Structure 1
């Protein structure tokens, strides 16, 4: 099997996460949004409920660093909230609700990647 760099694994995981989110009927607003304080992986909208969702994507090839729940610490949630606030401040749209989700993508253990979607982490 060909070995991939961390960046390639991350990009693959992110694309699988985006495909998953689209399959749920969510519309992608932004990907890899960056500012001086950090990066938001994926930003999607649930247009029917007027919800904007900030999605942290965690791609894993092993359980070495723990599962999806362990990957997003309270400090990470705090940082994501700050970034979400900065992104929202730059938008014209108004949303009825804001949510932070985590999509964990597990590659390599099974033939098809495993996707774990945790809603409302912060």
Structure 2
């Protein structure tokens, strides 16, 4: 596996741990369908939260969240709708929210973590 893939997986693991510590329940990770992949799907009592995770070793080439442009955000909304169609019971009675988590630093274990709720 490429170092970039390892970095991304470690970042997603740290993001999931952060979400659990904040009281979220993780219901899906790396969910795939023909349209693409969702990094993390989590729930609270009232919300279904789709989380895009971006991990970078530095911000030398820009902040990690700069990679989430309008086109990517629209794609995530479509993927969220596909996830809901495939898991209607998990979504029932919950409001959908799209979040982004950015991790910046050489090691995801102690990288700076930014969680933007409803960012997309």
How many residue pairs match? The answer is: 117
Where does the alignment leave 5 or more consecutive residues of structure 1 unmatched? none
RMSD after superposition: 1.8
TM-score using structure 2 length = 0.89
Task: Provide closer, same or farther for how the CA distance between residues 81 and 109 of structure 1 changes in structure 2, counting only shifts above 3 A.
Answer: same
Runs of 4+ in structure 1 off by over 3 angstroms are none
- Give 1:75's aligned residue: 71
Q: What is the rounded CA distance, in whole Å, between the counterparts of 1:111 and 1:33 in structure 2?
A: 23
- By how many angstroms is 1:111 displaced? 8.2
1:86 aligns to 2:56 (yes or no) = no
Where does the alignment leave 5 or more consecutive residues of structure 2 unmatched? none
- By how many angstroms is 1:109 displaced? 7.6
- Give 2:15's aligned residue: 17
Task: Provide closer, same or farther for how the CA distance between residues 37 and 17 of structure 1 changes in structure 2, counting only shifts above 3 A.
Answer: same
Note the 1:1-122 alignment, pairs <5 A.
5-47=3-45, 50-93=46-89, 94-108=92-106, 112-122=110-120
